[in-house]
A = this chain, B = another copy of it.
Amino acid sequence: MKVCVIGANGQIGKQLVQLLRESEKHDVRAMVRSDEQAQALRENGIDAVVANLEGTVAEIAEAVNGCDAIVFTAGSGGHTGADKTLLVDLDGAVKSMEAADIAGVNRYVMVSALQAHNRENWNEKIRHYYVAKHYADKVLMDSNLTYTIIRPGGLTNEKGTEKVTIAENLPRATVTREDVAKTVFASLDLKNTFNRSFDLIQGEDEIKVALKQF
């Protein structure tokens, strides 16, 4: 399937684009914010489109048109101001869901945040970020899209172990960005993950095994 990665220039996005590109069963389209980013990707032979999550739904719908799946891994990550968090992580994410609907893209994988579904477990330091992620996830669950919501713990840049723990509720812990990208990749066509959501941290199980046993 052709997968549009929203946030393709981000740290998880870049690794996911690479996995999709090397894959035999998927194709990739990278959605980025600037012409420069798109140009650099194209020079590497990657299908790239420019669209802004603060722009219109129509603009995003055009960018995702012709794809079979969307992965949302854009976002402020909690380090930008709360206004950007509202506009990108919440409203921008929902715009991409509306765009998916318009463009007839049915599959949607959201990279969320550990315990975004449980208000009482939100990280106090970035509580506003959790509000945005919580409601974006909620809108996705109420949509007609075939969703998977992956809620990784604290992201690290270490080399992935390909071993994770996946469950409805997990305690705060870390996971490498590489293993998040690989979990997203594995979940794309794994029916067991359709219309489900889960926390993700580093663990003892092979990614595919963890996803299948969840």
Contact = CB atoms under 8 A, between A and B. Distances in A.
B81 A131 contact: no
A139 interface: yes
Contact of A135 (B81, B85, B119, B139): B139
A90 B138 contact: no
A85 B139 CA distance: 19
A82 B128 contact: yes
A135 B90 CA distance: 9
A87 interface: yes
Interface in A135-184: 135, 138-139, 142
Given A81-B82, A82-B82, A85-B82, A91 B139 contact: no
> Chain copies in the assembly?
2
A127 B139 CA distance: 19
Nearest to A91: B131
A132 interface: yes
A128 B89 CA distance: 12
A87 B138 contact: no
A161 to B, nearest CB: 34
A56 B135 CA distance: 17
A54 to B, nearest CB: 9
A86 B139 contact: no
Contact of A82 (B57, B86, B95, B142): B86
Contacts of A142: 142
6 contacts: A56-B120, A82-B82, A83-B127, A85-B86, A87-B127, A90-B135
Given A82-B85, A90-B135, A94-B135, 8 more contacts: A56-B120, A57-B119, A82-B83, A82-B86, A85-B86, A86-B132, A87-B131, A142-B142
